[in-house]
Amino acid sequence: MKPSIYITRKLPESVITPLQKEFEVDMWEHEDVPVPRDILLHKAESASALLTMLSDKIDRELLQKSPSLRVVANLAVGHDNIDLEAAKEVGVTICNTPDVLTETTADLTFGLLMATARRIVEADRYIKEGKWKSWSPLLLAGLDIHHKTIGIVGMGSIGEAVARRAKGFNMNVLYHNRSRKHAVERDLGVHYTTFEELLTQSDFVVVLAPLNEDTEGMFQDEQFLLMKDTAIFINAARGPIVNEEALEQAVKRGDIAGAGLDVFEVEPIDADHPLIKLDQVVALPHIGSSSKETRYEMMALCVENIHAVLKGNKPRTSL
């Protein structure tokens, strides 16, 4: 009997064809709707491999009820949806998709920074709603980006890529990370600071840290009060790093000038979410790595990892 693979979101046929040649492949039929929990549990019970999304909870319950499961390939660099300790206990290999999305996510992050600072989304809406009647000196005036100070919280590969882009704008780059990176400081000309110093000195605070016990709830009222009232806050990492109520109040009070968000505490959000009602907030639906080229490369890496494990070989990327 062939090993079976369950894919939790509808993917292009061209992506899964290599797997279908050697394995039994079953796939959730919807592209934009997450697989329900009960169906995922049922499918995992007999699966040899899962190809999952960040929205799929691969927890101890699922892992312990899936005796045939050998590998989970997560279509993301993050893996906070997976219980790594439980996976290790039952001998399931966990794979993710690092590196292939670094530059694409950095593009989106810097684009979000620019859109928020220069009020691009607000200006687009202004003209499309027929409000543009004349030119005026301060019409939709935003904030300069060049020669400003950017503070990057989380100097991993994506943080480094954002720093390189910032240098192209002649920005002063500060960073805070769990461990200091002397080689990055030397190569990119960035400066390490404490978390508090970064908040007080930066014109743009960009969050690119992973979600873990140290970073969850990292931004509260206290942190926003430390920031400049002209500062822009950007989160392209994970929503639970930020207390959204604290962020909302900081924007409303004018403690900071605005925010650009690609992630939220609970996703997806709806049109009643208080943050997206604020003109000073630019909101995106978690599309950091969403270019066609990168998403196809991520899918291909998941397929490669699953194939390797099921054939008794070492996967290209595993946790």
CA 167/CA 179 separation, integer angstroms: 22
CA 242/CA 221 separation, integer angstroms: 10
Q: 144: burial class by Cβ within 10 Å (0-12, 13-18, 19+)?
A: exposed
The residue from 79, 286, 295, 307 that is catalytic is 286
Q: Examine the residue annotation and report whether 129 is marked as an active-site residue of this protein.
A: no
Q: Examine the residue annotation and report whether 182 is marked as an active-site residue of this protein.
A: no
Q: What is the largest CA-CA distance in the chain?
A: 72
The residue from 70, 79, 238, 307 that is catalytic is 238
Q: Examine the residue annotation and report whether 125 is marked as an active-site residue of this protein.
A: no
Phi, psi of 51 (to 5 degrees): -110, 110
CA 12/CA 33 separation, integer angstroms: 15
Residues labelled catalytic? 238, 267, 286
